[in-house]
Structure 1
């Protein structure tokens, strides 16, 4: 089975939906957003 199909099937499973919701909650936290921005800024600065 192609990788994309396996990922799609996993995301539609109960465990995949649970992880997706957890990711959304973590992404909406302002502290995590700031951490992600600083991490991206460090990677962009290396070029």
Structure 2
């Protein structure tokens, strides 16, 4: 067995988990941004 073959499975990347995690991060960031925009608009409309 060559060292390349032996080292081939040292790192395993689970693309589905990465995609899910990235989706959650983006969703959270978008939600925070939209909430901040809505709060700012509400403050502007109420004269706060």
TM range (shorter): 0.3 to 0.5
Q: Specify the structure having the higher radius of gyration (Cα).
A: 2
Task: Pick the structure with more helix per residue.
Answer: 1
